[in-house]
Structure 1
Amino acid sequence: MKGTLYGVGLGPGDPELMTLKAHRLISQAEVIAYPAPDSGQSFARSIAAKAIPPDAREIPIVVPMRVDRFPAKEIYDTAAGEIASVLEAGTDVVTLCEGDPFFYGSFMYLFERLSDRFPCEIVPGVTSLTACASRLLRPLTSRTDVLTVLPGPLDDEALRPKIEAAQAIAIMKVGRHLDRLKALLTDMGLLDTAGYVERASLPDQKVFRLADVPAGSAPYFSMILIYKGDEAWTLPPSFSS
């Protein structure tokens, strides 16, 4: 019998936003895998830390945060090989993923390497989209509105027509593109309807109207939400972050 590979969504960061199923699988796991940065602790592991059994084997997958996908490809090839040896021995592997495994989740790279050889189960998680909307105190979208999710690193020429065609827009991975994105939305007359959330659900979260966000860069876990549909939804005049 081969082991099962679990891709477990952890939600946006608050451990209380993990699902009951995610908590159960983690707390019973013999082997835990998770993405980790070049330096510092793994965000995914920190979310699940209290549920991880003290005797569980841990497989950190150290992935440098780079735009180029090829170094990461080699890293996931190596990680998939290590995880495959555990699964071949009949032991399940619970892989942690911030947010949802199939929504910009790193687990997808393990899934594409291993799902043809081993049973896999995906445990969905609360996405950053809904977490940020809840902190912004404004619904994400409604009725027949078109919701468009865009990565912030796209250039303005690619972003503009997609924003124009949608009624609700989420721009993720804002990071160092904050000032450029803010300038684009100002030029499009959308600054006043845009909200900004970083590190949603965490103790250090920040929530602003985009117009009030200071110039500079934003963290990787940041998002701009825009609504320009038919509903009369507005942003609060200010937020207590």
Structure 2
Amino acid sequence: MGRIICCGLGPGDPDLMSVRADREIRAATQIAYFRKKGRPGQARRIVEGILPRGVCEYPMEYPVTTELAFDSDEYVRLLADFYDEWADRLEQLARGNDVVVLCEGDPFFYGSFMHLYSRLQGRAKVDVVAGIPGMAGCWNVVGQPIALGDDVMTVLMGTLSEDELNRRVNNEDALVIMKTGRNLAKIRRALEAAGRLDDAWLIERGTMPGERVARLKEIEPSDCPYFAIVLVHGRGRRREFCE
């Protein structure tokens, strides 16, 4: 019986992958990775050039991404069936040799693999290789500490309702807002209402080719790709330590 090894790939730059992840990928005979239909997949792009010759590839294509509301019954059903199917397939593939599953960022930080991990418990040996979360790559390219001293860092989803975003961005220290895309206008309004828009950054494709770092207030709400994140840096005890 082989193993299912999920390798966190980090924020996008292959140089930011862990030594262990690099070693597992270079030795792989089978790899699987998530992607949208018709796309090569971000995880697959990161490992381009380091895969061994003859490796068998298994693209795991989502049945739906943004076509349906993520909290709709149909979306939940389609994704549940998708994860059930791939848990079965990975279990079968691992009966011969190890299977390496590629995951952007860290597998246990909003990663799709966690849905397979829970289904595979007791059915196969599963190893998870930690990766640098994408947000860490993004706040490093800005060149400012995300949190200082006694700052509290809050991670929010842009898919939250506007009322919920308004409530949560008020009186917070450091903010990380993921799943921006079509939610960017709503995020801007919430930050502006909280008086925090001037401090907000939009990082597109952080650490990857085509990287863009800009003040959020200078970006058109419609000009936001999928691989983008909003950061608002905390202030902590900056005066006490830095002045």
Q: TM-score with structure 1 length normalisation?
A: 0.91
The reply on whether 1:15 has 2:14 as its aligned counterpart is yes
Deviation of 1:223 after TM superposition, in Å, equals: 0.8
Paired residue for 1:46? 45
Instruction: State the match for 1:125 in structure 2.
Output: 131
**Per-residue deviation at 1:149?**
0.4
Aligned: 1:84 with 2:91? yes
Aligned to 2:113: 107
The answer to whether the Cα contact below 8 Å between 2:154 and 2:172 also exists between their aligned partners in 1 is yes
- Following superposition, the deviation at residue 232 of structure 1 comes to 4.3
Residue 214 of structure 1, CA deviation: 2.1
Give the % identical residues. Answer: 35
1:154-203 Cα deviation digits (max 9, x unpaired): 01211222222521110001001111211221111101111110110112
Secondary structure class of the residue paired with 1:69:
helix
Residue 192 of structure 1 aligns to which amino acid in structure 2?
D
C-alpha offsets along residues 105-133 of structure 1, whole Å, 9 cap, x if unaligned? 11111111112222211111111111110
Is 1:188 aligned with 2:167? no
- Paired with 1:51 and 1:115, the residues of 2 have a C-alpha distance of 29
For structure 1, which segment, 65-74 or 55-64, has the greater mean C-alpha deviation from structure 2 after superposition?
A: 65-74
TM superposition shift of 1:136: 1.2
Letter in 1 for 2:111: G
* Structure 1 residues 50-199: aligned runs within 5 Å: 50-63=49-62, 64-66=64-66, 67=70, 68-89=75-96, 91-199=97-205
SS of residue paired to 2:52:
coil
Q: CA deviation at 1:143?
A: 2.5
The answer for unaligned runs of 5 or more in structure 1 is 234-241
Given that 1:150 and 1:171 are in contact with CA atoms closer than 8 Å, whether structure 2 keeps it comes out as yes
Amino acid at match of 1:41: P
Cα 1:231–1:207, aligned 2, differ >3 Å: closer, same or farther?
farther
1:50 is paired with a residue whose SS is coil
Contact 2:35/2:42 (CA < 8 Å) preserved in 1? Answer: yes
Please tell me the residue identity of whatever aligns with 2:179: K
**SS of residue matched to 2:47:** helix
Q: CA deviation at 1:228?
A: 4.3
Structure 2: which 5+ residue stretches go unaligned? none
Query: What code does the residue aligned with 1:74 have?
Result: D
- SS, match of residue 29 in structure 1: coil
Please report the RMSD computed on the Cα atoms of aligned residues, expressed in angstroms: 1.5
1:87 partner letter = A
Pairing partner for 2:227 from 215, 218, 221 = 221
- Secondary structure at 1:81's aligned position in 2? helix
Letter aligned with residue 203 of structure 1? P
SS in 2 for 1:150: strand
Normalization by structure 2: what TM-score?
Answer: 0.90
Matches for 1:192-207 after TM superposition, within 5 Å: 192-207=198-213
